[in-house]
Structure formats: C-alpha cells, structure tokens
C-alpha cells in the first residue's frame, strides 16, 4: 500500500480521536437528563415552535411501549408520504427534466429504503427522481430516519442509566432535538466544505455540452452538496447520482473524499463517548469506542491492503500492479483513479461498518477478499461503529451477550452496568440477534435456487452467490451499498429486499426498546471487586470475539461458497 | 448454636457417604440414561431435543438408503448415526450421574422413616393411638422416652432430651422444651428422656423429612432463573445454526455441490451448543448436591444461585466471628503485686468455676504463667479447702482454705467483699476495669484475704476471641466484592473493637431484630443482595427478607420456614461456604458455556472443507488440520462432539476449582482456560480422532 494511503488512514484516526469525544460530549447534553444544553438560545425557540405545531408536550415522558408506538407511527407516515411523492412526482413542480412518476414496486422499495435509513437504490438517482422528490422526500428522510435511530439509542442508554424508573424519554422530543441540534448544524458545515471542493449545489436541469470528440453530453445539475452532507452524516448513503460518491459532482477531490469518509464515521463513533457520559462512567464509553475502532481499523487495513495488493491473475498476464510514478498501483477495476485503491478500501470498510452504504468505488469489482470483507463487515451486524444510534445499540446488545456468556465465569449471574441480565432480557437479545441472519439467509437461499431471481445476476459461480449475499446483507443491515452486478429492480428483489429492510430495521429497534423498558426498571447493583469489569481491554477483546464468532458461525458456510472459495481459487 | 467452628460436617452426616463415581451410582445412571430417551424428558432441553430428532432422522435415512448405498457409505452413515445417539445418551448419563447420589441418599432416608404410631390427645385428656400419617395441623401428641416424635411441631408441655441424629447426624442429644426458641421438634427424631406434648405444625407429606427426601432426590427441581435465561441463549443459538445449516443446502445446490442430509445433520449437531446443553442440568443438580454434602438443605436451586450473587453478608458476632464465650486474654496486676502472683490467685479462684470463662482462666494461667500443680490450697493438694461456687447473689466464685480466701468476680462485687473484709481498694482498680470495658472486654477482679489482710490483686481481662482465620476469610470475601456486616447486641464501642480485630467491613451494634430487617431493606434498596443466618422466631422476618436466609436447624420452626436454606449443623460460619458453592456453580456453568461455543470454530474448519472440497477443490485449503478424508473429518468432529461431553462430566459434577479472587482476575483466568482452551482443544481432539480413524483403516 502507498505511503499516502497509510498517511490518510492515520490522519483520519487522529481526526476521529479529536472530534469524536467532543461531539460525544455535545450529544450527551442533547439527550441527557440535564435541563440545559449548549445552544439552547438558538435551538430552543425552533423546537418550541415545532412542539407547538405538532402539539407535543416535551415534558411528558413515555414508557417503552408508547415510545415504540410513536416511532412506528412516525415511520409509517414517513413511508406513505414518500411513496405518494414518488408516485405523483410527474405532476408536481421542481421537475425540470420532466421525469415520470416512479413505478409502484420501485416506489415501495425506495420508500422502505429511505424510511429505514437503508438508502438502497433500486433506481438511478438523477434519471428517476425529481428535485422535489430528492429534496422534499429523500433528503427529509435522510434527516429524520437518522434521528429516529439516534432516538432509539438515547432511549436505550436511558434504560441503562436510570434506576427503578419506568419511562425512557419522549420520542418526539428526541426526534426533534436530534434533527435540530445534531444533524442540521453538522450537515450545514459539511455541505459548505463540500461546495468549496466543487460539489454541485443548484436547481438546474441538464446542461447540454459538446465534448471534445464532438459528441452531445447531458450534464446533470441539482442540489447535491446539501443532500450529500446528510447522506454521509446520517449513515444514509443514498446518492444524488447513480454513481454515488464515485461521481465527481458528489465527491470531487481528495479533500472532499476525506471529509466524506470522516462524515460517515463521526456520529457513530461519537455515540460511544455520549454513552459513557450518559451512564455516568466515561470508561464504559471509551471501551465501546475502543471495540468499534479495533474492528473498523482491522477491516479497513484488510480492505486497503487487499485492494492495493492487486489481483494475482493480472500478474500472470504480465500486467504491472505495483506503485510507480505513473500509476497508483493495486487493483483498479471499478475504482476512481483520483482516489486509488487505498482510499477506496478505506471507504469500503467505513461504509459497511456503518450502515451508510454510499460508495466511492464499485464493490462488485473489488477483489474477492476485499468484497468479502465488506460483506462480512455488514454481517457483523454493523457495530463498528454502525449506523447513527443503531450502531451503538447493536454493540451494546453484543456487549450484553458477551456479559451473559462469559459473565458467569466470575461467579455471579450476569449483569451489565449493574443491571441483572435475566430471562426477559435474553429473549429480547436473542430476538435481536436472530432477526438479521434469519431474513438474510432465508431470502439469499431462495434467491440462489429461484430461477427468476437468478436472472438478476451479472455473474455465475461464486461471484454470483456473492452478489446475492451482498444484496441481502446490505438490505437486512440497512446498509444500502450494493454489489452493482445484481439487478435489483425486479419485483422479486424490490419486494424481498423491502421486507429484509423492514425486518432489519423494526425487528431490531423494537427489541431494543423493549430491552430498554425492561432495564430501566431495574436497580443497579453497585460496582465492587466482585463485579465483572466491562471497561477493560480484556472485555473489549471478549466483545470483539463474540461479534466475530457469532457472525462467523452464522455466515461462514455461505461465505465459504461465495467470496472465500472465489479468493482461494485465484 | 454457640458451637465452635470447624466442627466437621462430613463426619456426622446422617446420609451415607458415597463418592461421586461410586460404581453403584454409575450402574444406575447407565440404566437411567436409556430411560431418559423418552421424548417428554428430552423436550425439556431444546438443544438435546434437536440432537434426538437428528438421530432419529439419520437412523431412518440409514435404513432407507442402506440398499442403494456402497458399503463405505453405509459404514459412514452408521457411524455418524451411532455417535449422534451416543451424544444424546452421554447427556442423559451426565444428568443421571448428578442425580445418582441424591437418589441413593433419599432411599436411605425413606427406609429410616419407619411407620410411626402417634398417641393423640383427645380434648378430654385421654389419648388414642393413630398412625402418624393421619396427624393434621393442631393435633396434640404425647411422646415419651424411647418413642419417635410422629411429626414436626412445637413442644407445648414439658421438657425432654431429644436425639436428632436421624436428621442432623449429630449424636449428642439436645434439650427441647415448651416456650421460647427451643420448642421446635422434628418428626423422625427420638425422645430420650421424660415426656413431652407436641402440637403438630406440619401437614402430612409436608414434614421436614418429606421435604428433605424431595430435596436430595431433586424431585421438585425447577429450572433456576439463570438456567432459564441460559436456555433461551442456547435455544437462540440452536435456531441460528439450524438456519445456517438449512440454508446451506440451497447455496450448495447453487454451487453444484448438493449435500447428503446425514452430513448436514452431523454439521448441525456439531454446531449447536450440545456440550453445555448436555451438562447444564447436571451442573445445577450437582450444585444442590454439594450443598447437601455440607449438610445444607437449599429449598430451591434459585437459592443456591442467589448465594453466588450475594454482595452483603450479615454475620452474627457470637458463634460466627468470635468463639461463643469470652476468654481470658491478660492478667493486669495492681501496683505492688507480681503478675505471677495474680495468675496463681486467678487460677485457684477459677478451679471451682466450671463456666467457659472460668476454664479459660485456668488454661491461660497454665499456658502463659506456668501455673501448674497448685492444688486448691496453693501448696499441694489439701483436704481443708472449701470451694465457693458462683452464685447470682455474690456474683463471685473462689476458695476458702484454712483462713486463706480468694475470690474472683464482677469488679463491684469484689470491691465490696474486700471492703467488708477490712481491706483497702486501690484507685488503680477502677481505671484498669474501665480501660478493659472500653476496649470491648470484660474485667473480672481477683482479691484475697491472707493472714487477715484483704487486698485486691488485680484484674483478669476477658475478651471475645475472634476465631482463627476469620480475618483472612473476610479479606477473601472483600476481594470477591462481598461486604461483611457484623451483627451484635453489644454496645457500639465494644462492637467496633471486635469488628476491627476481625476485619469486617461494617457493624450493626445493639441490634434488634427490627434493626436487622431495616438493614437488609436498606442494603437491598441500594442494589445489594443480602445473606444472613438466623435461628430465633424473631429472626423470621429478616430471614424471609434476605435474598439468602440460612436457618439453623436448632432454630424455631418459624425461622426454618422463613429462610430458604436450613443448615443441619447449625454452624453460622457456613454462610461463607454457601456463598462459595453458589459462585462455584455459576462459574462452572459459565466456563462450560464459553467452552462449548468456542469449540465450534474448529468444527467448521473440519466439516466445511470436507463437504465441499470435492466439487470446489480450492476449499481444501481451509482443511488446516490436514484431516485424512472428508468422511473421517466429519466423523472425527461428530465423535469429538460426543466424547467431550463425557470428558467434562467430572468437572460439571465436582464444579470448577474455586478460588477467592477478584472478578477481573477470575475473568482473565477462566477466559484463558475455557475460552482459549475451548478454541484450541477441538483442533487437537479432532486431529487425534482423525488419525485414529485413518489408522484403523475405516476411511
């Protein structure tokens, strides 16, 4: 790997180490139980206005059931609004190139995709969606679906932090505060930086240009930067353009690429520190951050090295893949030359470790191992660092699982942060752990033998299986990135992936809220030398082990027949 | 209950001793293992139920396909099927082994429960003879010397000595009398002297003896909360692996490498957590059994589990932390008196004192001042000596010998005696006595009248003696994160002094039963789990409130019913052992769970290449163990999976070795041993079995 690649990686870690604790502290104040938070003078009037319009009493806290119902109700309305907007866009304004309304199966898939924070795109961005749909539908969901995930996280942390309580906060308040205080200001800043790098922001339709060769080319326009900022920050990932962040109008320079990579990771990593502060033990937050960083770091290095290492088959053909003055070296199929294999590998690991799913290279074209790593990173349940809010939830579930398996070995029934983990909690944890693999493996298995589904494949053999597995791993984990070889616009895929996205979202969120509701009632056993420590490197290693072993045992057979055999056959 | 510590429970156990692997128990367990194949028994254990179903399916497939298969294919299918059945049988065997010792002991108890007849008193005072089994609550029975008490109850008339060895194993008789804390009697015990009238308090079939039989037999064993939670985890993992294996067939079909169902079932059984699934109930039963071996009857497995979680121990000072009685610790002479002189006088005055305090003065004088051979009169044995025993009015004891008189007793009583005898009381006496009392001790003054002159010789310092090794015990408990609170009726100052010496964390002084209850509630509100011992009726509310309440068997019926354990030895120090057994149980469970899950990694590396390298040769590079053939690889994994259950039976019955360590240290050690060990062991085991299989030339 090139020196520049390493430098970029190390600088990114340093920037994260500086910014994540700062943002985490701020987020803890946004969701914390203290009355005051920074920026009240600016934000409070806005929020009060929203509460008044929506008739929300911000003082009224909710039990987990009411919290969950509010969340489901909100998501349902969001889904219907987005579905309606797509179906009617042909007769609505802000449609300069007069795009038709979206087909029902695609509209269903997209509506599910954006309300579940997946942003799987079974359509071409600039050639399907009007500016109104992009701004009033997709971009709005980019904000609120991310805020929903963060709200669930806030509820879970409160469940762990409070003792002998019954309520978890107010969903509408958490949704509003997350959007107004975290996502909007950060997006504004990131959008400005992106515009400075040449990312487009206008209301134009297509500009007609004549190329040097004399051909006629349509150059698209639109409000790009504003949407790209939130697509990265909110771990959404849905591109303004079909080529996503590989498109120069979305991601123009090395600087914009760096800022976007940072934007993908910053909120999920910051959540770890927010968690530590909110439960009143910052060591716990640092441990969670360490776990996230270790897994993400290992996967990033793996992906960067494999993509930089090139493909041995090409060596056999006498193609040079080494770094020289003239070329960046490595395996460049499906990659942007301006980013090179290292930055592409780093992005691939980052976008799959979060539930982001935006891409700056085509994962389908990556080396089998690089593609396999991206796939496995999603199959870990996206906990390193995971989607905004939901990533921390997943990691805390894994921590509880680790505590339960190994915690008995200290001679006490398991407890996390002083709260006993009993049958009721284990049921919810197992529901959470089961939902994603169940929907992923079931649909992938059917797709592997169902003739109609097989027609969507661009490749046969192990790579074809990888395309199927990747597609459902992405949907079931609400990632949204794709092995582009798969044609997912068929009725089979729009439907099954739509279901997979719904399961991957709500069958995870509801157990988490129920778990929070169960935990919030418990007393916290005070920590003593007899308490299993959950802030040490040993515990961190244990959680990493549980994440890897649980995912490994679940997906190893399938992966063996896809990316692993493909890699071993090289 | 003021029995000294260290009385070995093992020597006096009422139940016949059997080793864990007594051949009779093993034989019984082998039979039980087959009986337990009944689907209704298996359905209670979801993991093993899946194995049972798998075994049945492979058996059917083997029979159906036998005709069309090659000989090698048949041998392979037969061997896989055989070891799947063994997996189920080994699990049954483990459970039967754990139950074995309890069953044998219950049989013995049943035999000793002879068909007793009772003399029931009618309202008019006459008696009638009825079988003990017909007695109901409120009946009054007359029991005379030599008769067996027909049921549990309270003595309402009379006093008698009772032989309770049938229950406690303790052969020394105990006194039972009406009223107070010594009124409870247990059915099946024998009256040795006198006649008592007992009012029955237990319904037939619910007596202590009945409950004891049920408990050691494990008849009413319910899954404990942690076992239920663990079963949910194991079921969840089983479902995940079921999914992974079921969906593997379509993926294999896509890859052109469709699999034999026998192989898929073998993979499934290897992956689901059979090791812990097979041993889970054995571990729980063995934990209860270890309590019984220490003469503690836990009323439920839940109580055993809770004892591992205990964070606060309430320990009675007397009998638990200190020896029951105060003992001489120093002689403090008055000015002008030598210490040896005082020692001799104290020795003489105590020869007639048969109380533990008096005896302790005699032995202290012997041990520390070489006082030996002095007769009562001080110069060899004399006949003229008159012993003056302790009385409540004089509050002194001593000896009169031909004009020489010596007295020992309460300071004020001795002062008065000296003044009455015409002597002077030195001012130092009050200071010394006050100093001793302030330090938590009891001062006893010693004075003599010699040649007509009365004088105070000095003071004996009696104090509570902390049992040997208690400080180390408390240090260990602290390391394990357990707070100890000493409960005593002493004043705060005295209590604090003893607490500091013993090294307990906190003190509840001048404690009333209400204080105790309030303390438990306070601790529990703060998230603590509390364990305590008690024996009196007024302890009952606290025993019921505590998370672990150990009632002394010598205690009242109310106390025994309020607690969730009964200590047949009535040894309050045992509370610490109870906590350790609880912890050991949980550690064993956690260790084997971790081991079981870690095992799976190696099994994948054995089975996946074996399944697919025929069609996808590249996957043979995953065969990192270099196993001989596909068949031997799969067989080796299945055989290892079955044998590891047998290999772990001893550890699940005995429990993992327990050491008092901090949680962090324990986690590190056990994770290394059972986590890393669980990762590595099957690589070695499967390879060895594979070598054996190929050496035998089977495949």
**What is the widest separation between alpha-carbon atoms in chain A?**
78
B479/A408 CB distance under 8 A: no
Q: Is the peptide bond before A150 cis (omega within 30 degrees of 0)?
A: no
CA distances from A331 to A316, A328, A459 (A): 14, 9, 19
- State the SS3 of B369-417: HCCCCCCCCCCCCCCCCEEECCCCCCCEEEEEECCEEEEEEEHHHHHHH
B254/A564 CB distance under 8 A: no
A530/B311 CB distance under 8 A: yes
Of B522, B523, B526, B520, give the one whose Cα is nearest residue B539. B520
Handedness of CA A482, A486, A488, A489 (dihedral sign): positive
Residues 6+ apart with CB under 8 A from B533: B314, B315, B316, B320, B549, B550, B551, B552, B567, B572, B574, B575
Determine contact, residues B194/B145, Cβ cutoff 8 Å: yes
Of A503, A393, A505, A508, give the one whose Cα is nearest residue A440. A503
Q: Helix A368-379 to helix A340-353 angle, to the nearest 10 degrees?
A: 20
Cβ density class A97-126: b for 16+ within 10 Å, e for less: eebebbbebbbbbbbbbbbbbbbbbbbebb
Looking at CA atoms only, how far is residue B185 from chain A in angstroms? Answer: 36
Contacts of B604 in chain A (CB under 8 A): 552-553, 556-557
Question: What gap in Å lies between CA A11 and CA B158, rounded to an integer?
Answer: 89
Which tokens in the block code for residue B574?
């045992």
Which tokens in the block code for residue A488?
């997912």
Chain A residue nearest residue B582, CA to CA: A411
Compare CB distances from A465 to B233, B245, B255 and report the shortest one's residue: B255
Of the residues B266, B273, B481, B675, the best mutation for testing chain A's interface (the one with the most A CB atoms within 10 Å of its CB) is: B481
Contacts of A421 in chain B (CB under 8 A): 229
Question: What gap in Å lies between CA B645 and CA B551, rounded to an integer?
Answer: 37
0.85 surpassed by complex ipTM: yes
Q: Which residue positions in chain B have pLDDT lower than 50?
A: 1-13, 376-381
Contacts of B244 in chain A (CB under 8 A): 437, 441, 553-558
pLDDT > 90 in chain A, percent: 74
CA A201 vs. chain centroid, Å, equals 24
Provide the pLDDT for residue A401: 95
B619/A560 CB distance under 8 A: yes
CB atoms within 10 A of CB B490: 20
Contacts of B527 in chain A (CB under 8 A): 163, 418, 523-526
B587/A409 CB distance under 8 A: yes
Average pLDDT over residues A417-439: 96
- State the SS3 of B289-311: HHHHHCCEEECCHHHHHHHHHCC
Question: What gap in Å lies between CA A373 and CA A349, rounded to an integer?
Answer: 8
The continuous run of DSSP H or E covering A374 comes out as helix A368-379
Provide the pLDDT for residue B16: 54
pTM for the complete prediction? 0.88
| R_g of chain B computed on alpha carbons | 34
Provide the pLDDT for residue A560: 95
DSSP codes joined into one string, B656-691: -------HHHHHHHHIIIIIIHHHHHHHHHHHHHHH
Determine contact, residues A417/A284, Cβ cutoff 8 Å: yes
Looking at CA atoms only, how far is residue A395 from chain B in angstroms? Answer: 17
β-sheet bridge partners, residue B327:
B463
Strands across the sheet containing B190-191: B174-177, B159-163, B190-191
Q: Is B455 in a helix, a strand, or coil?
A: strand
Of B477, B410, B421, give the one whose Cα is nearest residue B449. B421
Interface of B with A in 7-26 (CB under 8 A): none
Determine contact, residues A443/A558, Cβ cutoff 8 Å: no
Which tokens in the block code for residue A394?
């997943």
Chain B residue nearest residue A564, CA to CA: B619
* Phi, then psi, of A240 in degrees rounded to 5: -70, -35
Which tokens in the block code for residue A305?
């090295």
Of A144, A226, A186, give the one whose Cα is nearest residue A23. A186
Residues 6+ apart with CB under 8 A from A41: none
Q: How many CA atoms lie within 13 A of B388 on its CB side?
A: 19
Question: What gap in Å lies between CA A322 and CA A311, rounded to an integer?
Answer: 11
Chain B residue nearest residue A524, CA to CA: B527
Chain A residue nearest residue B302, CA to CA: A413
Instruction: Tell me how many degrees the CA angle A376-A381-A386 measures, rounded to the nearest 5.
Output: 105
Residues 6+ apart with CB under 8 A from B241: A553, A554, B268, B271, B272
Q: Does B529 touch chain A (CB under 8 A)?
A: yes
Pick the more confident residue, A538 or B204.
A538
Q: Looking at residue A245, what DSSP letter applies?
A: G
Q: How many CA atoms lie within 13 A of A75 on its CB side?
A: 26
Compare CB distances from A441 to B230, B243, B481 and report the shortest one's residue: B243
Of the residues A399, A408, A521, the best mutation for testing chain B's interface (the one with the most B CB atoms within 10 Å of its CB) is: A408
Chain A residue nearest residue B673, CA to CA: A409
β-sheet bridge partners, residue B507:
B486
Least confident of A148-162, A176-190, B603-617: B603-617
β-strands A207-210, A216-219 pairing: antiparallel
Question: What gap in Å lies between CA A501 and CA A555, rounded to an integer?
Answer: 18
A462/B255 CB distance under 8 A: yes
CA A382 vs. chain centroid, Å, equals 7
Determine contact, residues A367/A341, Cβ cutoff 8 Å: no
Q: Distance from first CA to last CA of chain A, Å, rounded?
A: 20
Q: Is A570 in a helix, a strand, or coil?
A: coil
Of B671, B680, B683, give the one whose Cα is nearest residue B603. B683
Residues in chain B: 699
Looking at CA atoms only, how far is residue B129 from chain A in angstroms? Answer: 52
Residues in chain A: 570
Interface of B with A in 170-199 (CB under 8 A): none
Contacts of B273 in chain A (CB under 8 A): none
Of the residues A409, A439, A523, the best mutation for testing chain B's interface (the one with the most B CB atoms within 10 Å of its CB) is: A409
Which tokens in the block code for residue B56?
């049945």
A413/B478 CB distance under 8 A: no
Average pLDDT, chain A: 93
Q: Is B106 in a helix, a strand, or coil?
A: helix
Looking at CA atoms only, how far is residue B617 from chain A in angstroms? Answer: 8
Which tokens in the block code for residue B172?
């020394």
Question: What gap in Å lies between CA B504 and CA B273, rounded to an integer?
Answer: 43
A465/B604 CB distance under 8 A: no
Contacts of B241 in chain A (CB under 8 A): 553-554
Contacts of A528 in chain B (CB under 8 A): 311, 481-483
B663/A412 CB distance under 8 A: yes
Q: Is B199 in a helix, a strand, or coil?
A: strand
Q: Which residues of B are catalytic?
A: 316
CB atoms within 10 A of CB B396: 24
Q: Give A61's pLDDT tier (boundaries 50, 70, 90).
A: very high
Compare CB distances from A427 to B232, B594, B667 and report the shortest one's residue: B232
Chain B residue nearest residue A400, CA to CA: B233
DSSP codes joined into one string, A64-124: HHHHHHHHHHHHHHHHHHHHHHHHHGGGSSS-TT-PPPPPHHHHHHHHHHHHTT----SS-
Which tokens in the block code for residue A12?
């990114």
- State the SS3 of B542-566: HHHHCCEEEEECCCCHHHHHHCCEE
Residue labelled with tokens 């996967």: A299
Q: Does A533 touch chain B (CB under 8 A)?
A: yes
Interface of A with B in 394-453 (CB under 8 A): 401, 404-414, 418, 421-423, 425-427, 429-430, 433-434, 437-438, 441-442, 444-446, 448-449
Contacts of A283 in chain B (CB under 8 A): none
Question: What gap in Å lies between CA B147 and CA B160, rounded to an integer?
Answer: 12
Which tokens in the block code for residue B516?
């105790």
Determine contact, residues A322/A202, Cβ cutoff 8 Å: no
* Number of CB pairs, chain A paired with chain B, less than 8 A apart: 221
* Phi-psi region at B402: left, alpha or beta (left = phi > 0; alpha = psi -120 to 50): left
Interface of A with B in 131-190 (CB under 8 A): 163
Residues 6+ apart with CB under 8 A from B98: B281, B282, B283, B285, B286, B289, B652, B653
Determine contact, residues A512/A432, Cβ cutoff 8 Å: yes
Of A263, A235, A269, give the one whose Cα is nearest residue A251. A263
Q: Does B241 touch chain A (CB under 8 A)?
A: yes
- Predicted confidence (pLDDT) at residue A421 exceeds the cutoff of 50: yes
Contacts of B593 in chain A (CB under 8 A): 405, 408
A530/B622 CB distance under 8 A: no
Interface of B with A in 509-528 (CB under 8 A): 525-528
Which tokens in the block code for residue A233?
């920050």
Determine contact, residues B508/B519, Cβ cutoff 8 Å: yes
Q: Is A123 in a helix, a strand, or coil?
A: coil
* Phi, then psi, of B597 in degrees rounded to 5: -70, -40
Q: Does B201 touch chain A (CB under 8 A)?
A: no
Provide the pLDDT for residue B393: 77
């Amino acid at each position: 790997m090139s020196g520049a690649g390493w430098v970029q990686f190390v600088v990114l870690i340093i920037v994260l180490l500086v910014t994540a604790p700062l943002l985490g502290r701020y987020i803890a104040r946004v969701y914390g139980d203290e009355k005051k938070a920074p920026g009240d003078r600016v934000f409070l009037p806005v929020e009060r206005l929203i509460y008044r319009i929506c008739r929300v009493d911000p003082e009224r806290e909710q039990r987990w059931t009411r919290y969950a119902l509010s969340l489901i109700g909100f998501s349902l309305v969001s889904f219907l609004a987005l579905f309606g907007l797509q179906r009617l866009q042909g007769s609505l304004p802000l449609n300069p190139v007069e795009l038709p309304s979206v087909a029902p199966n695609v509209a269903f898939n997209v509506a599910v995709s954006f309300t579940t924070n997946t942003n799987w795109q079974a359509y071409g961005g600039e050639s399907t969606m009007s500016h109104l749909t992009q701004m009033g539908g997709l971009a709005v969901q980019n904000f609120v679906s991310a805020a929903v995930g963060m709200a669930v996280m806030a509820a879970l942390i409160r469940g762990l932090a409070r003792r002998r309580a019954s309520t978890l906060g107010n969903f509408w308040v958490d949704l509003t505060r997350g959007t107004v205080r975290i996502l909007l200001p950060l997006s504004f800043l990131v959008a400005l930086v992106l515009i400075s790098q040449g990312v487009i922001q206008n209301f134009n339709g297509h500009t007609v240009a004549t190329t040097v060769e004399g051909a006629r080319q349509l150059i698209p326009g639109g409000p790009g930067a504003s949407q790209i900022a939130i697509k990265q920050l909110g771990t959404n990932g849905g591109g303004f353009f079909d080529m996503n962040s590989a498109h120069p109008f979305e991601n123009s320079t090395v600087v914009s690429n760096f800022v976007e990579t940072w934007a993908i990771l910053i909120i999920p990593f910051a959540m770890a520190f927010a968690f530590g502060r909110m439960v009143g033990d910052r060591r716990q937050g640092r441990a969670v951050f360490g776990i996230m960083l270790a897994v993400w770091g290992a996967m990033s290095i793996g992906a960067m090295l494999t993509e930089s290492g090139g493909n041995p088959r090409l060596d056999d053909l006498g193609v040079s893949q080494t770094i020289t003055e003239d070329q960046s070296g490595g395996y460049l199929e499906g990659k942007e030359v301006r980013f090179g294999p290292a930055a592409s590998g780093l992005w691939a690991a980052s976008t799959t470790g979060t539930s982001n799913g935006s891409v700056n290279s085509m994962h389908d074209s990556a080396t089998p191992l690089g593609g396999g790593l991206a796939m496995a990173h999603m199959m870990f349940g996206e906990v390193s660092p995971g989607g905004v809010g939901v990533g921390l939830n997943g990691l805390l579930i894994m921590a509880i699982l680790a505590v339960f398996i190994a915690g008995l070995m200290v001679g006490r029934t398991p407890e996390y942060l002083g709260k006993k983990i009993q049958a009721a909690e284990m049921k919810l944890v197992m529901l959470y752990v089961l939902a994603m693999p169940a929907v992923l493996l079931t649909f992938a298995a059917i797709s592997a033998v169902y003739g109609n589904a097989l027609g969507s494949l661009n490749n046969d053999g192990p790579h074809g299986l990888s395309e199927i597995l990747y597609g459902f791993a992405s949907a079931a984990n609400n990632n949204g990135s794709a092995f582009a070889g798969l044609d997912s616009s068929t009725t089979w895929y729009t439907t099954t992936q739509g279901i997979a996205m719904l399961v991957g979202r709500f069958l995870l969120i509801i157990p988490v809220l129920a778990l929070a509701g169960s935990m919030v009632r418990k007393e916290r056993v005070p920590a003593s030398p007899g308490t299993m420590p959950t802030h040490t490197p040993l515990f961190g290693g244990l959680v990493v082990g549980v994440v890897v072993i649980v995912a490994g045992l679940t997906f190893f057979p399938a992966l063996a027949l896809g990316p692993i055999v493909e890699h071993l056959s090289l | 209950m003021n029995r000294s510590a260290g009385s070995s429970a093992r020597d006096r156990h009422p139940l016949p001793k059997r080793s864990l692997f007594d051949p009779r128990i093993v034989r019984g367990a082998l039979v039980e293992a087959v009986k337990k194949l009944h689907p209704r028994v298996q359905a209670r254990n979801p993991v093993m139920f899946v194995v049972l179903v798998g075994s049945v399916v492979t058996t059917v497939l083997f029979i159906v396909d036998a005709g069309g298969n090659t000989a090698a294919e048949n041998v392979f299918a037969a061997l896989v099927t055989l070891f799947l059945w063994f997996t189920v049988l080994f699990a049954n065997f483990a459970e039967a082994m754990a139950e074995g010792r309890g069953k044998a002991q219950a049989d013995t108890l049943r035999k000793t429960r002879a068909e007793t007849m009772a003399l029931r008193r009618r309202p008019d005072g006459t008696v009638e003879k009825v079988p003990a089994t017909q007695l109901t609550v409120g009946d009054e029975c007359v029991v005379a010397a030599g008769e067996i008490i027909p049921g549990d109850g309270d003595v309402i008339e009379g006093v008698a000595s009772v032989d309770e060895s049938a229950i406690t194993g303790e052969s020394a008789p105990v006194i039972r009398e009406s009223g107070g804390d010594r009124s409870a009697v247990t059915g099946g015990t024998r009256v040795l002297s006198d006649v008592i009238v007992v009012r029955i308090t237990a319904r037939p079939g619910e007596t202590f003896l009945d409950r004891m039989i049920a408990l050691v037999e494990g008849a009413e064993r319910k899954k404990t909360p942690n076992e239920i939670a663990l079963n949910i985890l194991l079921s969840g993992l089983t479902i995940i692996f079921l999914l992974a294996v079921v969906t593997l067939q379509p993926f294999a079909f896509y890859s052109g490498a469709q699999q034999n169902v026998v192989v898929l079932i073998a993979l499934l059984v290897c992956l689901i957590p059979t090791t812990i699934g097979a041993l889970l109930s054995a571990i729980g039963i063995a934990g209860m059994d270890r309590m019984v071996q220490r003469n503690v009857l836990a009323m439920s497995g839940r109580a055993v589990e809770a004892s591992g979680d205990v964070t606060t121990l309430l320990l009675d000072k007397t009998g638990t932390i200190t020896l029951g009685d105060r003992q001489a610790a120093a002689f403090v002479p008055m000015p002008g008196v030598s210490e040896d002189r005082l020692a001799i006088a104290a020795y003489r005055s105590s020869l007639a004192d048969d109380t533990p305090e008096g005896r302790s003065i005699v032995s202290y004088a012997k041990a520390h001042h070489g006082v030996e051979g002095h007769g009562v009169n001080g110069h060899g044995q004399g006949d003229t000596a008159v012993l003056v025993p302790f009385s409540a009015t004089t509050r002194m004891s001593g000896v009169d010998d031909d004009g020489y008189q010596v007295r020992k007793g309460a300071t004020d009583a001795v002062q008065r005696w000296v003044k009455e005898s015409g002597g002077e009381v030195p001012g130092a006496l009050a200071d010394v006595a006050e100093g001793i009392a302030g330090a938590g001790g009891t001062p006893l003054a010693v004075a003599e009248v010699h040649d007509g002159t009365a004088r105070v010789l000095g003071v004996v310092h009696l104090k509570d003696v902390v049992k040997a090794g208690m400080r180390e015990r408390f240090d260990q408990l602290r390391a394990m994160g357990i707070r100890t609170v000493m409960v005593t009726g002493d004043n705060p100052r005295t209590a604090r002094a003893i607490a500091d010496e013993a090294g307990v964390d906190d003190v509840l002084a001048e404690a009333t039963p209400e204080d105790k209850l309030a303390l438990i509630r306070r601790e529990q509100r703060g998230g603590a789990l509390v364990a305590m011992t008690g024996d009196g009726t007024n302890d009952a509310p606290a025993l019921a409130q505590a998370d672990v309440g150990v009632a002394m068997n010598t205690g009242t019926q109310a106390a025994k019913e309020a607690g969730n354990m009964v200590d047949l030895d009535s040894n309050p120090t045992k509370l610490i052992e109870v906590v350790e057994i609880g912890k050991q149980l949980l550690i064993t469970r956690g260790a084997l769970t971790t081991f079981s899950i870690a095992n799976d990694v190696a099994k994948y590396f054995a089975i996946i290449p074996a399944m697919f390298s025929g069609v996808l040769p590249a996957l043979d590079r995953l065969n990192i163990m270099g196993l001989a053939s596909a068949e031997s690889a799969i067989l080796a994994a299945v055989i290892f999976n079955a044998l590891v259950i047998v290999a772990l039976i001893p550890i699940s019955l005995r429990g993992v070795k327990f050491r008092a360590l901090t949680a962090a240290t324990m986690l590190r050690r056990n994770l290394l041993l059972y986590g890393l060990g669980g990762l590595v062991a099957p690589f070695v085991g499967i390879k060895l079995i594979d070598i054996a299989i190929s050496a035998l030339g089977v495949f």
